[in-house]
């Protein structure tokens, strides 16, 4: 197997570029479209649709994140190809609401094809080994395009499922060791900023909900509670875990580092990111009706979103071995237990979730982080 190119010392350390942040803004907008569909169609079939679309999208986002981890987009051709990828995500966002029931599926598939082509051209400039995985990525795009040409039915879901399975099995067919050289400082910063942008959506949701309600003291309190909940989530992620994760990745050998990045920043961040977005979608309605009872779907979206975020954070910490996870796992269970409060009063559920997250952080500070200094290979 041909190893990936070794970065020079000059290229070894660089921060996330503004173009990458721009790219992530478009990507998060695409995810927002998914959560909007979920809230509007909160049924088992609607959830299945979101799982399929998010799984396919997250795979390609990871591909772009790992691509810019290998080389910064500094040249004009490189930047133009990144912008083309952004166009692909925007097409996907436009096609999302009718991806399974109308013409959106074809637009979705063509947008995904654009993502695949821009990505492979970019990656091949630095590492031609990426061409080995191109057939699998192209197959996923073709499957979605074909599904978009059909008029609904079980075959559409079968094709989408195959499009999701193809990238999942791809690493086992084409090992990642020859394709990637992970820079810990960049991969940690990139995903941290993605979490920040996602949290920003929760702030926008609070503001959007407040804009549709009468301005009074109750609305101000509700909006501040929404902000406090977003801040509590921020506190659990950005108060040292990112620095410890970077140190853990840096201490690992090349093969182990790729594995940790795959399971910590790809798989574990799936529930983490989805959880924040689902909670944000629920907050949009909760702030508007903060002093009323919520519908079961909205109450579950807020509490379930926070619980899902915490579950992803637990998995992330375990993969990176950067801290105990029992307290946060208990907090996830406690978050789900706040749903009945939302069925009584929306503000009560939001306040309870803030207390759950604050209690988790305080309990962790009172107990030593036994695995903080564990080496990943121990």
Verify that 327 and 236 share a domain, yes or no.
yes
**In a shared domain, residues 236 and 332:** yes
The predicted structure's pLDDT at residue 370? 44
Does residue 154 share a domain with residue 189? no
Q: CA gyration radius for the chain?
A: 21
Residue 2 lies in a domain: no
My answer on whether 43 and 148 are in the same domain is yes
- Which of 126, 143, 178 delimits the end of a domain? 178
Does residue 375 register a pLDDT over 90?
no
Residue 157, in any domain of the structure: yes
The full DSSP string for 281-334 is: HHHHHHHHTTTSPPPHHHHHHHHHHHHHHHHHHHHHHHHHT-S--HHHHHHHHH
- Domain of residue 335: give its range: 184-366
- CA dist., res. 286 & res. 350, Å (int): 9
Q: Are 106 and 91 in contact (CB under 8 A)?
A: no
Mean pLDDT along residues 109-127: 85
Residues 65 and 87 in one domain: yes
- Whether the pTM exceeds 0.75: the reply is yes
In a domain, 24, yes or no: yes
Q: What pLDDT does 180 receive?
A: 62
Question: What mean pLDDT comes out for the span 327-352?
Answer: 93
From 174-178, 295-299, 332-336, the region with the lowest mean pLDDT:
174-178
Has residue 218 got a pLDDT over 70?
A: yes
Under the banding of pLDDT at 50, 70 and 90, the label for residue 13 is low
pLDDT of residue 2: 33
pLDDT reported for residue 11: 43
pLDDT at 62: 86
Co-location of 160 and 126 in the same domain:
yes
| Residues 59 and 164 placed together within one structural domain of the fold | yes
Flag whether 27 is in a domain: yes
Q: Is the pLDDT of residue 177 over 80?
A: no
Q: Are residues 171 and 190 in the same domain?
A: no
Asked whether residue 261 is assigned to any structural domain, the reply reads yes
Band (pLDDT 50/70/90 cuts) for residue 377 is very low
Please report which confidence band the pLDDT of residue 153 belongs to, taking 50, 70 and 90 as the band edges.
confident
| Residues 97, 33 contacting (CB under 8 angstroms) | yes
Same domain, 149 and 200: no
Over the stretch 27-67, which tens digit does the pLDDT of each residue have?
888 888 887 777 666 677 777 888 889 888 988 888 888 87
The answer to the question of residue 162 being in a domain is: yes
**CATH code at position 329:** 1.20.1410
User: How far apart (Å, rounded) are the C-alpha atoms in residues 164 and 59?
Assistant: 9
Q: What is the pLDDT of residue 277?
A: 86
* Count of domains observed in the chain: 2
59 and 106 both lie in a single domain: yes
**pLDDT for residue 262:** 86
pLDDT at 9: 39
Neighbours of 217 (CB within 10 A): 7
Give a yes or no: residue 377 inside a domain: no
What's the sign of the alpha-carbon dihedral 321, 327, 330, 336?
negative
40-49, 82-91, 258-267: which is most confident:
82-91
At 332 the pLDDT is 95
Of 178, 194, 224, which residue sits at a domain end?
A: 178
Please give the average per-residue pLDDT across 114-126, as a whole number. Answer: 83
> 199 and 169, same structural domain?
no
Q: Is residue 77 part of a domain?
A: yes
Of the residues 148, 178, 208, which one is the last residue of a structural domain?
A: 178
Mean pLDDT of 127-145: 79
Q: What is the mean pLDDT of the chain?
A: 83
Same domain, 108 and 204: no
């Amino acid at each position: 197997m041909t190893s990936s190119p070794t970065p020079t010392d000059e290229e070894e350390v660089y921060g996330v570029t503004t173009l990458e942040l721009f790219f992530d803004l478009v990507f998060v907008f695409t995810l927002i479209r998914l959560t909007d569909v979920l809230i509007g169609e909160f049924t088992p079939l609607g959830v299945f649709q979101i799982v399929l679309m998010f799984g396919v999208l997250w795979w390609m986002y990871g591909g772009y994140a790992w691509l810019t981890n290998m080389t910064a987009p500094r040249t004009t051709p490189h930047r133009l190809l990144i912008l083309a990828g952004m166009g692909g995500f925007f097409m996907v966002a436009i096609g999302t609401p009718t991806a399974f029931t109308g013409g959106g599926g074809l637009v979705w598939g063509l947008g995904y094809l654009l993502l695949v082509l821009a990505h492979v051209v970019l990656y091949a400039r630095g590492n031609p080994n990426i061409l080995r995985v191109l057939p699998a990525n192209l197959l996923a795009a073709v499957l979605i395009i074909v599904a978009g040409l059909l008029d609904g039915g079980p075959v559409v879901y079968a094709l989408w499922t195959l499009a999701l399975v193809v990238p999942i099995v791809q690493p086992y067919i084409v090992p990642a060791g020859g394709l990637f050289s992970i820079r810990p400082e960049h991969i940690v910063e990139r995903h941290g900023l993605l979490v920040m942008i996602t949290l920003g959506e929760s702030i926008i949701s609070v503001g959007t909900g407040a804009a549709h309600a009468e301005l009074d003291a109750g609305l101000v309190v509700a909006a501040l509670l929404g902000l406090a909940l977003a801040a509590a989530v921020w506190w659990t992620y950005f108060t040292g875990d990112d620095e410890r994760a970077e140190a853990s990745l840096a201490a690992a050998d090349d093969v182990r580092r790729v594995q940790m990045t795959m399971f910590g920043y790809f798989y574990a961040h799936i529930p983490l990111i989805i959880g924040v977005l689902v909670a944000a979608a629920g907050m949009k309605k909760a702030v508007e009706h903060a002093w009323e009872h919520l519908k079961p779907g909205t109450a579950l979206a807020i509490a379930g979103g926070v619980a899902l975020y915490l579950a992803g954070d637990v998995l992330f910490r375990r993969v990176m071995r950067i801290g105990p996870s029992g307290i946060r796992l208990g907090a996830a269970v406690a978050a789900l237990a706040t749903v009945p409060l939302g069925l009584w009063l929306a503000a009560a559920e939001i306040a309870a979730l803030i207390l759950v997250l604050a209690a988790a952080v305080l309990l962790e500070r009172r107990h030593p982080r036994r695995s903080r200094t564990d080496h990943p290979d121990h």
